[in-house]
C-alpha cells in the first residue's frame, strides 16, 4: 500500500513535519492514551515509542485503518467514529488521556465529549484550528472568549503551546493550526445547577453584545418562576438591578458565571 488519499469530508490533512509530530506526542507523558484520528500514524509512531504510554487509537477511515494495520501491526486500533464511541467500553476503569491531530470539522464536539468524561480524562492535548485554540484558551475580556472557553475552563486549565503553519500538512488546510493542552483542574463540582449554568452561558453568549439584563430575561431562560413573580414587575426589577447584569458575557470569569447561576437559581426557588 502506498499512502492514504486525503478525503476532505473527513477533515484529512496529514502532518508531514516529523519534528512537529514529535512535539505533539510529547505533550503527554504517561498512562492509557486514546489517539483520535491517527491517519497514517505520524503521531502514533512517537506515542508507540514511549514505554510509559499504553496507546489505543480510533480511526473512522477504512483506508487509513488498512494502512495502520500494515505499518503498525502492534497498534490497538478501533475502526469507528469517536463521537459515537462508548468510552466506558474501551476504558472500563481508571483514567485515560486523549490526543490527536484532530479532524477540525468536529473539534468542538470532541471537546464537549471530553467534558462529559472529565472525571476520567486528566489531560487532553493535540492540534486544532488556531482560531479554535485561541477561543478555548482565551481569558475573559477578549473577543475570542466564548461558550466553549467558559465551559472547558470550568474544569480544565488550557495551555496554548505553539502555532503550526499550514504548509507542513498535505494537503495544506486553509487555516493555521495550534497545539494546546487541557489539564483537569481542582474543581470537583460547580456548586450550582450544571444544566442551568450551561444554559446561562449559552444564552448570554448568543447575544454577546448585550448587557445580560437584556439577554438573560426569565422568558429567554425559560425559567420556572412563579406566575405572581413575573407579574410583579417590581420584584423582577429589583432582581435585575443587581450590577452583575450590567455586564456583557465576555466580561465574566467562570467564577462570576457560577455566582450568576446561583442568583438565578435562587430566583427560581422563591
Ligand atoms: N493524525 C493524522 C491525521 C490527521 S487528519 C496526522 O496528523 O496526519 C484527521 C484524522 O481524523 C483523519 O485520519 C480522519 O480520517 C480522522 N477522523 C475524522 N473524523 C473522525 C471521527 N469522527 N472519528 C475518528 N477519526 C476521525
- Count CA atoms closer than 13 A to 68's CA, side-chain side: 27
- Does residue 227 surpass a pLDDT of 80? no
- Cell digits of residue 146: 466564548
Angle between helices 194-206 and 254-269 (to 10 degrees): 110
Ligand 1 centre distance from Cα of residue 147 (Å): 25
Maximal C-alpha separation, the chain: 74
Question: What sign results for the dihedral spanned by CA atoms 14, 18, 24, 26?
Answer: positive
Return the higher-pLDDT residue of 139 and 270: 139
Query: Within 10 Å of residue 230's Cβ, how many Cβ atoms?
Result: 13
- Is 126 touching ligand 1 by the criterion CB < 6 Å? no
Q: Is 14 a pocket residue for ligand 1 (Cβ < 6 Å)?
A: yes
Q: How far, in Å, CA of 168 to CA of 17, rounded?
A: 6
Q: For 188-207, what is each residue's pLDDT tens digit?
A: 999 999 999 999 999 999 99
Share of the chain above pLDDT 90, in %: 88
CA distance 158 to 130: 14
Q: Is the CB of 39 under 6 A from ligand 1?
A: yes
Residues 152, 111 contacting (CB under 8 angstroms):
yes
The strand pairing partners of 238, in sequence order, are: none
Cα separations (Å) of 95 from 32, 69, 114, 183, 226? 7, 26, 12, 13, 43
| CB 103 near ligand 1, within 6 Å | yes
Beta-ladder partners of 23: none
What are the backbone angles phi and psi of residue 229, rounded to the nearest 5°? Answer: -70, -45
82 within ligand 1 shell (Cβ under 6 A): yes
C-alpha cell at 227: 406566575
Q: Which pTM was predicted?
A: 0.94
Categorize the per-residue pLDDT at 218 as very low, low, confident or very high, splitting at 50, 70 and 90: confident
CB 81 less than 6 A from any atom of ligand 1 = yes
pLDDT of res. 144: 96
The span from the CA of 67 to the CA of 61, in Å, is 10
Residue 234: pLDDT band with limits 50, 70, 90:
confident
**Residue 111 neighbours by CB distance under 10 Å:** 22
Number of the ligand 1 atom closest to the C-alpha atom of 7: 15
CA of 104 to the centre of ligand 1 (A): 9
11 lines ligand 1 (CB under 6 A): yes
User: Which residues are registered as beta bridge partners of 100?
Assistant: 126
Q: d(Cα 37, Cα 5) in Å, to the nearest integer?
A: 15
What 3-state class would DSSP assign to 137? helix
* DSSP 8-state code for residue 143: T
pLDDT of residue 235: 80
Could you tell me the pLDDT band of residue 163, with boundaries at 50, 70 and 90?
very high
158 CA to centre of ligand 1 in angstroms: 22
Amino acid at each position: 500500500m502506498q499512502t492514504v488519499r486525503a478525503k476532505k469530508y473527513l477533515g484529512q490533512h496529514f502532518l508531514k513535519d516529523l519534528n512537529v509530530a514529535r512535539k505533539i506526542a510529547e505533550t503527554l507523558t504517561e498512562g492509557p492514551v486514546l489517539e483520535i484520528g491517527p491517519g497514517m500514524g505520524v503521531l502514533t509512531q512517537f506515542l508507540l515509542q514511549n514505554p510509559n504510554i499504553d496507546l489505543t487509537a480510533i480511526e473512522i477511515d477504512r483506508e487509513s485503518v488498512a494502512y495502520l494495520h500494515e505499518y503498525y501491526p502492534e497498534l490497538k486500533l478501533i475502526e469507528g467514529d469517536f463521537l459515537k464511541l462508548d468510552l466506558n467500553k474501551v476504558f472500563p476503569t481508571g483514567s485515560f488521556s486523549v490526543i490527536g491531530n484532530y479532524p477540525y470539522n468536529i473539534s468542538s464536539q470532541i471537546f464537549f465529549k471530553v467534558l462529559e468524561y472529565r472525571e476520567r480524562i486528566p489531560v487532553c492535548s493535540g492540534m486544532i484550528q488556531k482560531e479554535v485554540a485561541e477561543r478555548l484558551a482565551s481569558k475573559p475580556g477578549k473577543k475570542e472568549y466564548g461558550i466553549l472557553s467558559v465551559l472547558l475552563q470550568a474544569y480544565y486549565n488550557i495551555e496554548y503551546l505553539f502555532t503550526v503553519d499550514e504548509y507542513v500538512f498535505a494537503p495544506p488546510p486553509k487555516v493555521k493550526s495550534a497545539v494546546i493542552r487541557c489539564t483537569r483542574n481542582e474543581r470537583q463540582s460547580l456548586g450550582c445547577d450544571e444544566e442551568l449554568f450551561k444554559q446561562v452561558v449559552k444564552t448570554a453568549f448568543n447575544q454577546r453584545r448585550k448587557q445580560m439584563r437584556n439577554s438573560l430575561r426569565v422568558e429567554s431562560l425559560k425559567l420556572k418562576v412563579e406566575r405572581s413573580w413575573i407579574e410583579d414587575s417590581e420584584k423582577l426589577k429589583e432582581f435585575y438591578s443587581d450590577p452583575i447584569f450590567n455586564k456583557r458575557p465576555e466580561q465574566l470569569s467562570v467564577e462570576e458565571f457560577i455566582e450568576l447561576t446561583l442568583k438565578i437559581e435562587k430566583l427560581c426557588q422563591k
